[in-house]
Structure 1
């Protein structure tokens, strides 16, 4: 018995619903309210990837997987190593794409010994490079650039210090490294969605106004090279990073 191949229609419906969800302000508000309520349980800290704490929400993990699978970067740069789970996660998806030389570069001002050990002893360690230093320091950026092979497709995830100025400085430093069609992901943009006077608790409290979303919006006024992906971001209502997934349109000249 034959059936109709409805894959294109299925994907079109997903895209339509994702974009529609992104316009539902009430749904986003309800999700943000729930996330703030779950902060008392350290909800983002309850997850792991292949044995290592990942400190991400499930929706962000799935969305990042979709982006990596669809764009197949050769290099992913992540600022903010924490316990290393995100590096392991992204390395595992790169491995699944079949690109044998693809790797993740983790940048952090303080890579603690026990976290370094968890990363370096992991089965995927050969796909991960660690750079210790301030993410926007000239010396650090020089090391990062040296680890990018000529012609490599590059994706960037910014997930370190979430203050406005630091995120804006990171966008300016790492945005130009992103390849055409690949993504700049600014994490924890949900802080910019919380009510005035409220905060999101991670390693420290982050407050609206001095937050990644405000920084990203400023950066997007300074460049025409990125667009906020309406489909990916539309479905990220129960997420740490709604509005944070930006696709590069063209290379600056």
Structure 2
């Protein structure tokens, strides 16, 4: 039965696609992939007709899908990371609904999760931060006034900033309206790719750190006191495994 599968390809490492996503990719008749970000290793050995969406408009992508569905083919729409944010699947799904084309979304591993794993880092440390904010600086795509970095920084939660390393001076200025200048920061470039880089520093130096590294894109900015947990013992333990904490599974 013809259908469109939106698949999160993971952050880069071809082994970080889900088993379900891999099975669909291998069985698909047509694959449309985000060529600017998806690792081409994922496409090796597949039998499908392949289209690189980095060269296509939304209308052209939908035309490829329509033509495939009309021929009763299975379409795999391969996006980087996870599909739940900054993936642009919503606008595609709106078009498919209007065309009565069936679709399914298969989640993937976000680069935000992959970066934390590389650091050996839990982003929610008891008594330090129990909230993680995924966001971006406004650029060509605007953000609501209430979601500007300067507003979100007031929470002092752990923050993962996408698509913004190329505007690092503005990132710094806005974050300093909430976080202290000595707040830990980590830049993770191309998480899980062979050429990945990790750079640590503090907020007041973030612009210098980024410029000196030569990083201009495809990098995440992690901010928050919780980031100290991957470099030293903080002595903050959850109640989950506390010997004095009783719950339904442990008397």
Query: TM-score, normalising length from structure 2?
Result: 0.31
Q: Which has the larger radius of gyration?
A: 2
Structure number having the greater helix percentage: 1
**Bigger relative contact order, structure 1 or 2, given CA contacts below 8 A and separation 6+?**
1
Query: TM-score, normalising length from structure 1?
Result: 0.31
